[in-house]
């Protein structure tokens, strides 16, 4: 009997499919449950989302390996999504990357991303980025390739060279990383549709991109619909800020309503701002816990 496909193989099948793979950004149990309930197969764990949600600070290299890994493991435990983890720069040199790769694979994700920024890194759409030598990053990819137990576990290589060194250098680096063993390539903070088209046409492995917050954001990459990205030659796309920023807006609106209730000293049940108790419990799979409780409940007549 043939073994079931691994998470990495399932993710690779989606990356290699004709249709672009859409991976909404997730950062906690709420967002993972929501994305999966809407029928998506893959989710991109946002490093920025984890830093902001769990540390309360921007994505500026403050989150360490243990915090990142713990969050990713918990998301993997409550979800069947094929997860992309963000391991920043690998928390050290190529030797560190070897062990970091194994740790994330054991945590239950399907892919892990390493980037070629200097440490401390910063969000790809922030100013002031710098990158390490391409040769150093190549050895990190070699280490990640050698470390993985499942040959199909996806190694995603990201370059931040577009801003500081230009588009040609970003493309050169991505091809070097592909040759070193990366399965999926990511050029962050591309400036235009033409940038994306050019990179997709000139790299040797599938290309993924991140989409930011839209035309109102101070973001470098324009917001482009998935089908158009597919036409540009992109294999996969993530939207890492959609749910994090929506969650913050929802909390602001909810707290505004709370303060209005306090000020007016009148009850305010804002159904337009909140999911109800039953909907929330259902999304968190309370029915599964109910079934387990009934299955294992002790009592008269219970078979032993």
**Domain identity same for 274 and 232:** no
Q: Which two tokens stand for residue 155?
A: 């190694």
**Domain identity same for 146 and 283:** no
**Domain identity same for 194 and 286:** no
Q: What is the pLDDT of residues 61-116, one digit of tens each?
A: 899 999 999 999 999 999 999 999 999 999 999 999 999 999 999 999 999 999 99
Q: 15 burial class (0-12, 13-18, 19+ CB within 10 angstroms)?
A: buried
**Domain identity same for 84 and 28:** yes
Among residues 244, 263, 283, which one ends one of the domains?
A: 244
Q: Is the pLDDT of residue 51 over 90?
A: yes
Q: Which two tokens stand for residue 140?
A: 């990190």
Q: Is the pLDDT of residue 127 over 70?
A: no
Mean pLDDT of 18-34: 97
Q: What is the pLDDT of residues 248-287, one digit of tens each?
A: 999 999 999 999 999 999 988 888 999 999 999 999 999 9
Tell me the whole-structure pTM to 2 decimals. 0.91
Structural domain count, the chain: 2
**Domain identity same for 260 and 230:** no
In which domain, by residue range, is 256 found? 248-295
Cβ atoms < 10 Å from Cβ of 51: 24
In a domain, 2, yes or no: no
């Amino acid at each position: 009997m043939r073994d079931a496909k691994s998470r990495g193989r399932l993710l690779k099948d989606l990356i290699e499919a004709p249709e672009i793979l859409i991976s909404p950004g997730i950062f906690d149990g709420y967002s993972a449950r929501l994305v999966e309930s809407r029928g998506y197969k893959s989710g991109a764990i946002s490093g920025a989302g984890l830093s902001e949600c769990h540390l309360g600070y921007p994505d500026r290299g403050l989150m360490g390996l243990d915090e990142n890994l713990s969050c990713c493991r918990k998301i993997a435990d409550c979800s069947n999504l094929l997860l992309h983890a963000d391991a920043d720069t690998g928390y050290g040199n190529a030797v560190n990357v070897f062990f970091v790769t194994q740790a994330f694979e054991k945590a239950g994700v399907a892919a892990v991303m390493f980037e070629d920024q200097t440490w401390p890194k910063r969000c790809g759409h922030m100013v002031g980025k710098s990158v390490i030598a391409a040769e150093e990053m190549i050895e990190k990819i070699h280490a990640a390739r050698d470390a993985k137990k499942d040959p199909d576990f996806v190694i995603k290589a990201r370059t931040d060279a577009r801003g500081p060194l230009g588009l040609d250098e970003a493309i050169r680096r991505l091809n070097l990383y592909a040759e070193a063993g990366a399965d999926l390539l990511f050029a962050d903070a591309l400036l235009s549709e033409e940038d994306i088209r050019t990179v997709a046409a000139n790299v040797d492995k599938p290309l993924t991109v991140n989409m930011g917050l839209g035309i109102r954001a101070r973001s470098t990459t324009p917001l482009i619909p998935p089908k158009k990205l597919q036409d540009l030659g992109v294999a996969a796309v993530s939207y890492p800020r959609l749910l994090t920023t929506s969650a913050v807006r929802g909390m602001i609106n909810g707290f505004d309503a709370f303060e209005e209730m306090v000020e007016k000293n009148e009850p305010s049940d804002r159904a337009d701002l909140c999911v109800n108790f039953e909907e929330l419990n259902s999304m968190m799979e309370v029915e599964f816990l109910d079934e387990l409780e009934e299955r294992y409940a002790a009592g008269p007549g219970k078979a032993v």
